[in-house]
Amino acid sequence: MPSLILASSSPYRRALLARLGLDFACHSPDIDEAPLPGETGDALALRLARQKAAAVATQYQAGLVIGSDQVCVNGDHLLGKPGTLERARAQLLAAAGKRVSFYTGLCVHDIASGQSRALVEPFHVHFRPLTPAQIDRYLAKEPALDCAGAFRCEGLGISLFERMDGRDPNSLVGLPLIALVELLAEFRVDVP
């Protein structure tokens, strides 16, 4: 089996990939993640996943590089990681009572052959109507400042939702494992 390299410094992606029971290394890519003018959320996620995989591939002689990136879209606004409580509160207030879409780009790049397979996994979250007090209580208990959308669905953030729509809830955390298993199989990596 070829060696696997996760092109990410995200502890969330690392923990998700570890669930597959595969040996892998992590290497943080150094790319500009700014959207291009007029770029949609799904196009941005796919471009960044490909760029992350390609950037890390230059650092190795062989192996499969896994690149992934997630973009959160509320209406026509691309949302990044809030970074501050004020921005987290604003993101959650804007999402209250709405459907917010998450697009996770995924790319598996074979260094030896130069071949890549890539896709975008969509996932939609329907937020409950939320009061400012509910949002403040949530942020006091779980300030998800490093998560696009300002919540952690694997934690208390699940209480903010009416429902979720998508094939793989792991994509909401940042690495769609169902799609990853499918892409790895194309490179003859069988899981389990």
pLDDT, tens only, 132-181: 999 999 999 999 999 999 999 999 999 999 999 999 999 999 999 999 99
Query: Which pLDDT value is given to residue 123?
Result: 97
Q: How far apart are CA 52 and CA 6, in angstroms?
A: 9
Query: Which domains are seen in the chain, by residue range?
Result: 4-186 (3.90.950.10)
Other Cβ atoms less than 10 A from the Cβ of 141: the count is 11
Reference 99, options 122, 69, 63, 124; nearest CA is: 124
Contact 29, 50 (CB under 8 A): no
* 3-state secondary structure at position 185: helix
Single-letter amino acid code for the residue at 85 = L
Of the candidates 183, 179, 157, 159, the residue with the CA atom closest to the CA atom of residue 72: 157
Question: Which sequence positions are flagged as catalytic?
Answer: 69
| Predicted confidence (pLDDT) per residue in 61-106, tens digit | 999 999 999 999 999 999 989 999 999 999 999 999 999 999 999 9
Tell me the torsion sign for CA atoms 128, 134, 139, 141. Answer: negative
| Percentage of the residues of the chain whose pLDDT score is greater than 70 | 99
Residue with tokens 């998800």: 144
Determine the Cα–Cα distance for residues 51 and 67; give it in Å rounded to an integer.
8
The 10s digit of each residue's pLDDT in 39-71 is 999 999 999 999 999 999 999 999 999 999 999
Say which residues have a Cβ less than 8 Å from residue 89's Cβ, sequence separation at least 6: 132, 135, 136, 139, 150
pLDDT for 2 beyond 90? no
102 residue type, one letter:
F
Say what the pTM is. Answer: 0.94
